[in-house]
Amino acid sequence: MKAAVLLLPGLNRDRDMIAALTNICGQAPQTVWQTETGIDDDVDLIVIPGGFSYGDYLRCGAIAARMPVMKAVREKAEKGVRVIGVCNGFQILVEAGLLPGALMRNASLKFVCREVMLEVTNAKTAFTGGYSQGQIIRCPVAHHDGNYFADSATLGDLEANGQVAFRYANGTNPNGSVNDIAGIVNNAGNVLGMMPHPENLIESAHGGDDGRALFESALGLVAA
Ligand SMILES: NC(=O)CC[C@H](N)C(=O)O
């Protein structure tokens, strides 16, 4: 299985993501710079890592979403290739219109860096098949703009269609997200955005591997 990781100025989680994907895939992912549009044909999964692309000006992810590489991501996503955006990657996918809603400043108005608990709200998505329905997992977060918001019609659709993949559980919502939403998939089910960082919990050296099944699911390495 082969993955691709996008590289943009200001991202700082790309190395963690590349290490995690190399560990899980058994081969290094293709890395694709923001001005490139050539994502390899044999790529099964495109990942947009976290960080602070363009220093979070004008809004988190707004400038990155308009870079040439995102045209290639959109084309691949339309063909059904799986895409994951983590943290700033989630913000970029929202700014690119590949996922609905918006990520606002945390309700506390503070940067939050801690571990949260996540509920696997829908274990039937392409990214969660390796978990059981309702499973509670650990995951770290580190962001200041993770407060997910969508208008009530959009929210109703997300909930009704099973597009909420992960919710903050056990009172650990770190940012004020509506309905405790931590991660969503698009209507077609092949694009996932989430604020927590599963790439930082994939092997025992990380102190746990609760995030591993997400990538294994996305890469088709476990039965969905
Ligand atoms: N870790 C990250 O990806 C941070 C995302 C974004 N820059 C924020 O702070 O909200």
184-217 tens-digit pLDDT: 999 999 999 999 999 999 999 999 999 999 999 9
Residues with Cβ within 8 Å of residue 63, at least 6 apart in sequence: 53, 54, 57
Q: Is 59 inside a domain boundary?
A: yes
Q: Is position 174 within any domain?
A: yes
Q: Is 80 exposed, middle or buried (0-12, 13-18, 19+ CB in 10 A)?
A: exposed
In a domain, 168, yes or no: yes
Structure tokens at 66: 């308009």
Structure ipTM: 0.96
Contacts of 35 (CB under 8 A, 6+ apart): 67, 68, 69
**Per the domain annotation, does 224 fall within a domain?**
no
Interatomic CA distance for residues 97 and 16, integer angstroms: 26
Percent of the chain whose predicted confidence (pLDDT) is above 70: 99
Round to the nearest angstrom and report the end-to-end CA distance of the chain.
16
- Give the CATH number, domain containing residue 157: 3.40.50.880
Question: 159 an active-site residue?
Answer: no
Per the prediction, the chain carries an average pLDDT of: 97
Pocket lining: 148 vs ligand 1, CB cutoff 6 Å: no
**1 pLDDT tier (thresholds 50, 70, 90):** confident
Residue 203 lies in a domain: yes
Residue 89 is part of which domain span? 3-219
pTM, full prediction: 0.97
Answer whether 17 contacts ligand 1 (Cβ < 6 A). no
Is 206 catalytic? The answer is: no
Residues 53-64 have pLDDT tens digits of 999 999 999 999
In a domain, 92, yes or no: yes
Q: Tens digit of pLDDT for each residue in 96-134?
A: 999 999 999 999 999 999 999 999 999 999 999 999 999
User: Residue 53 Cα, ligand 1 centroid: separation in angstroms?
Assistant: 9
pLDDT confidence bin for 76, thresholds 50/70/90: very high
Mean pLDDT of 151-163: 98
Instruction: Using CB atoms within 10 Å of the CB of residue 10, give its burial: 0 to 12 exposed, 13 to 18 middle, 19+ buried.
Output: middle
How far does residue 119's CA lie from ligand 1's centre (Å)?
21
Question: How much is the pLDDT for 224?
Answer: 52
Nearest ligand 1 atom to the CA of 146 is 10
Residue 156: inside a domain, yes or no? Answer: yes
| Total domains present in the chain | 1
Q: What is the amino acid identity at position 209?
A: D
Alpha carbon of 142 to ligand 1 centroid (Å): 6
Are residues 210 and 194 in contact, defined by beta-carbon separation less than 8 angstroms?
Answer: no
**Residue 168 CB: number of other CB atoms within 10 A?**
25
Residue 198's nearest CA partner among 140, 145, 143, 129 is 140
